[in-house]
Amino acid sequence: MSESNRFAFIGKVFAKKQVDATEAEEYEQELIESVEDFSETITREVMVPRIDIATVTAESNLDSAMTMFLYSGYSRLPVTGKNTDDIAGILYLKDVAKILHETPKLMLEKTAEDLARSAIFVPESKPLKDLLQDMQKSSTHIAIVIDEYGGVAGLVTMEDVIEELVGDIADEYDKEIPDVEKLAADLYRVNARFSLFELGELLEMELADDDVDSVGGWLTKGLGALPKLGDQIVINGLELTADRVEGRVKRLVTVLVRVLAEADPEEQSTDE
C-alpha cells in the first residue's frame, strides 16, 4: 500500500469512526503502525475456515435462499454445486430482494444459480495488502480462498481484511450491545460478556464460578458445548437462553436471563 493510499484510507477510517481531532492523531499513529504488521499477513490468517462457511445450493429456489439469508444474517452467500469445492458463484441478498419486490412469483421459479454473480478465487498465501488492492479495484467484497491443492480452504470478505488493519468495524446492521436490558420484572437480556459478579449484584444473588467469569461462559459451561440460538439451561433458579448469535462462527452475543424462583442465598453460588 503506497504512502498516499495509506493516508487516503486513514481519512476514510476517521470519517467512519467519527473521532475528534485529538483522537484522530492518536488513531492515525496506531493505524500506521498496524500497516507494517498488515503487510506481512496472508489471506489464510484471516479467512473464515471452510467448515464455518454458510452456503446455499445451486438448485435452491430464491425463496429458500432468502430464508438462508435471514437465518445466517449475511448479505452474500456462496452458491455450491455438487459440494463445497464446486462454487457456482455468489448470491447477493439485494438481488434476491429486488426479485421479491418486483416479481415475487419468480421466488419459487428461479434458483440461486440463476441469480448468482461470478465468484473470485484467491490463493490462501496471497498477502492481505495485495488482496485489499485487488478487492478495491474490482469492487468485490467477498472472495473464495483456495488451498494449494485447488480445493476451497475458506472465504474472506473485505470486512475481514479491513478489521485486520484497523480493528473491528461495525457492520451497517450492527448495534452497540448494552450490558443489561430489562424486558420484564423477572426477565433480562444481558451481553454475553457481562460478568457473573455484576449479574449477581443486579439480581441480589451471589453468583460465582471458578472456571468462567461471564454470563456467556456460564451458559456455555452449563451446556457443555458452544451455544446455538435458543439453547437453554436452568441453574440456581435462573433460566439462561442463548438469545442472539452472530458471525460465521455463531458467536454468542446476548443471553436471556429469567428469574424462576427465589433460592436460598446459601445455595446461590454456582460452584459445588
The domains of the chain, with CATH numbers, are 44-166 (3.10.580.10), 180-267 (3.30.465.10)
Give yes or no for a contact between 255 and 241, defined as CB atoms under 8 angstroms apart: yes
Taking residue 247's Cβ as centre, other Cβ atoms within 10 Å add up to: 14
Taking residue 62's Cβ as centre, other Cβ atoms within 10 Å add up to: 25
At 232, is the pLDDT very low, low, confident or very high (cuts 50, 70, 90)?
very high
pLDDT at 82 over 60: yes
pLDDT at 214 over 80: yes
Any idea what DSSP says for residue 82?
S
Which of these, 237, 232, 241, lies nearest to 268 by C-alpha position?
A: 237
Higher pLDDT pick, 261 / 91:
91
121-159 tens-digit pLDDT: 999 999 988 898 888 888 888 999 999 889 999 999 988
Cα dihedral 78, 82, 83, 87 sign: negative
Q: How far apart are CA 69 and CA 79, in angstroms?
A: 12
Q: What is the pTM of this model?
A: 0.54
Helix, strand, or coil here: 210? coil
Q: How far apart are CA 251 and CA 240, in angstroms?
A: 16
φ, ψ (nearest 5 deg) of residue 240: -110, 130
Q: How far apart are CA 8 and CA 65, in angstroms?
A: 37
Higher pLDDT pick, 176 / 174:
176
51-75 tens-digit pLDDT: 889 999 999 999 999 999 988 878 8
Q: How far apart are CA 38 and CA 68, in angstroms?
A: 33
**Angle, helix 21-38 to helix 158-166, in steps of 10 degrees:** 110
